[in-house]
Amino acid sequence: MPSFLLSKSFLHLNRKSSLFHHFSMSTLPTKTRLRGVVFDMDGTLTVPVIDFAAMYKSVLGNDEYMRIKAENPSGIDILHHIENWCPDKQKKAYQIIADFEKQGLARLQIMPGAAQLCGFLDAKKIRRGLITRNVKESVDLFHQRFGMMFSPALSREFRPYKPDPAPLLHICLTWEVQPNEVMMVGDSLKDDVACGKQAGALTCLLDEKGRYGPHDFAKLDLTPDFKVSSLNEVYSLLESNFDLTP
C-alpha cells in the first residue's frame, strides 16, 4: 500500500471534507486535478545498475571520496563537486562518469510496472515527462528500449539540472500547467523530491528497499507527499487521491 505522508493540500482537503459532513453526507470534496507526471530515469524508470560508489571513488580518488562521503551523509552530488575543477581534471572526470553510464546502458533494464503505469497515464490523458542528470545519449537509448516517449525529456545538457527546480518548471511551462498539478516521481530524496518541492509540485519517492524514513526526511527537511516501494503502487495512489477525469 502506498503510504500517505504529509501534504498541506491534502490536510486542507481533509479538513474541508469533515466540514462537508456537517452539511451533506453526499457532497464529496473536490480532488486535486492531476495534469502530468514527471519521472526520474535511473533507478526509477530503469532498474539501478550504475555502481555510483565505484564511480565516485574513481572520480575523486579513495581518500577524497571518504572525506566527501563523511561530509555528505545523504549522498554525494558528483556533478556539483567537479563543476569548478580545472578543465583538464574536469574532462577526465566527465570521461569516467560517461564510462560508468555507458556500462549501465549496456545492462539497461526497464523498471517493473513502468510500462503499465505509462499506459494508465496515457489512458487518462495525463502527460508524461522525464528529468535526468544522465546524458541525452542515455535518454535516447532508453526511449528506444522502452518504446514509449516522454516529452519533454530533459537530460544533463539542460542547465541547471536537478535538484534545481528549473527543469521541472520548464516542463510545466511547456505543458501550460501549474506545478501543483504535476507530480515528480523519483528514487532520490536529495535530487527528485528536492526538485519537485522547490518547483511547488507534488512529490512521490520510490523507495524500493526501504532506505528512507522520517529521520532522513527531517534531516534534509524534505518530506515527500507520497512514498511507494514499487511503481505498481503509483496508479492506485493516483486513483484514490486525484481527479483523473480526462
Q: Which residues bind to Mg ion, rule: CB under 5 A? A: 40, 42-43, 187-188
Whole-number Å distance between alpha carbons of 51 and 31? 40
Cβ distance to Mg ion smaller for residue 155 or 188: 188
Residue 9 C-beta: closest distance to Mg ion, Å: 25
Cβ distance to Mg ion smaller for residue 192 or 225: 192
Whole-number Å distance between alpha carbons of 115 and 245? 21
Cβ distance to Mg ion smaller for residue 7 or 188: 188
Residue 90 C-beta: closest distance to Mg ion, Å: 23
Residue 124 C-beta: closest distance to Mg ion, Å: 24
Annotated catalytic residue, options 40, 191, 192, 225: 40
DSSP labels for 123-150? HTT-EEEEE-SS-HHHHHHHHHHH-S--
Whole-number Å distance between alpha carbons of 234 and 93? 36
* Amino acid letter, residue 222: L
Bridge-partner residues for 130, per DSSP? 39, 153
Cβ distance to Mg ion smaller for residue 188 or 223: 188
Could you identify the residue written with the cell 523507495?
207
* Gyration radius of the chain's alpha carbons: 19
Annotated catalytic residue, options 42, 191, 192, 207: 42
Whole-number Å distance between alpha carbons of 212 and 122? 30
Residue 208 C-beta: closest distance to Mg ion, Å: 11
Whole-number Å distance between alpha carbons of 81 and 64? 11
Active site residue 122: no
Question: Is the separation of the CB atoms in 163 and 194 below 8 Å?
Answer: yes
Active site residue 207: no
Cβ distance to Mg ion smaller for residue 36 or 43: 43
Instruction: Find the residue with minimal CB distance to Mg ion.
Output: 43
Instruction: Check whether the bond before 152 is cis (ω within 30° of 0).
Output: yes
Residue 182 C-beta: closest distance to Mg ion, Å: 18
Question: Is the separation of the CB atoms in 235 and 205 below 8 Å?
Answer: no
Catalytic residues: 40, 42
